[in-house]
Amino acid sequence: MEFQPIIDDIAASLAAERGAGRVATYIPALARVDPAQFGIALCTGDGQVFAAGDADVPFSIQSISKLFSLALAMRHVGDALWQRIGREPSGNPFNSLVQLEWEQGVPRNPFINAGAIAVADRLVSACPDARATLLAMVGSLCGEAVAFDEEVAASEAATGFRNIALANFMRSFGKIDNAVDAVLDLYFHQCSLAMSCVQLARATAFLCRDGAHPLDGSTVVSERQARRLNALMLTCGTYDAAGEFAFRIGLPCKSGVGGGIVAVVPDRLSLCVWSPGLDDTGNSLLGMKALEMFAARTGLSVF
């Protein structure tokens, strides 16, 4: 399939709509991003990369990091992870506290904030320097060094009252083992990772390769774990819009409030779209449109 003309066409068709949606402002450092940016990049299972628009501009990956931290926790903690975290869509906003009380401090899934904070707790227990381990894994996957944006991490730490509440609430149920500050330090830093569409398409290619590293073929996660990551992305990766994503796009996706969305076509390719303007569910408005166009144009879907 000729991917370059398809993504060029998608970028051109959405040019007039650049700036649509609302940039996340609850994290002050994100509110300053130019909303009129749009990028798309795709990486095939055999490593060919195609890109259009602002595909090389680094942006805050935010909740897309939940994918990497979960992959790392699957490696280090294995199935014991699921004693602390569920696998069901939440049907609630990503930062909701409501369900957590009903469900005794066990988050619905690893892709809502509470779930990712619980994953971070497991990583703090399992790795002597979890921040460095995560950074090394993501850098190795995309083939070049990546870095935390300390300004974004500090901005989140200063205003992350809901995440602080979620972490303390889980700790009150005995579901967080480590000091809340240490757990949130990892969580805020992973969210602050700055990466481009090209880097993210590369870094998620292991998900379209049954867990094999995109560059050296080593095992990032097992085939079964890769399948499970994709399943969780499809059912929970876009929060309370997961049903809409499955309906309109039909691919495992993971979004972040920085405006990025990664999507996987198992056994074929991984792709990343980015545009900072969000819809009411915290997913990139143009990103979702771009993925819908991609699925329609290529006929690629898991269904």
CB of 107 vs ligand GLN, minimal distance in Å: 13
Site string for ligand GLN, 167-196 (x = CB under 6 A): ------------------------x-----
CB of 97 vs ligand GLN, minimal distance in Å: 12
- Return the residues of window 3-62 that contact ligand GLN according to CB under 6 A: 62
Q: Hey, which bits of 21-99 come out as E strands?
A: 39-44, 49-53, 59-60
Bridge partners, 126 (sequence order): none
Distance CA 71, CA 222 (A): 10
Describe the strand order of the beta sheet including 147-148 as a list of residue ranges: 59-60, 193-195, 147-148
**C-beta of 44 vs 283, nearer to ligand GLN:** 283
Site string for ligand GLN, 85-114 (x = CB under 6 A): ---------xx-----------------x-
Site string for ligand GLN, 130-169 (x = CB under 6 A): --------------------------x------x------
Say whether residue 256 binds ligand GLN (CB under 6 A).
yes
Say whether residue 63 binds ligand GLN (CB under 6 A).
yes
The alpha carbon dihedral of 178, 171, 193, 195 has a sign of positive
DSSP letter, residue 60: E
DSSP letter, residue 129: T
- Catalytic residue, chosen from 66, 175, 254, 289, is 66
Active-site residue flag, 284: no
Grouping H, G, I as helix, E, B as strand and the rest as coil, residue 82 is helix
Residue 1: C-alpha distances to residues 155, 208, 265, 266 (Å): 43, 16, 14, 16
Active-site residue flag, 63: yes
The catalytic site residues sit at 63, 66, 187, 239, 257
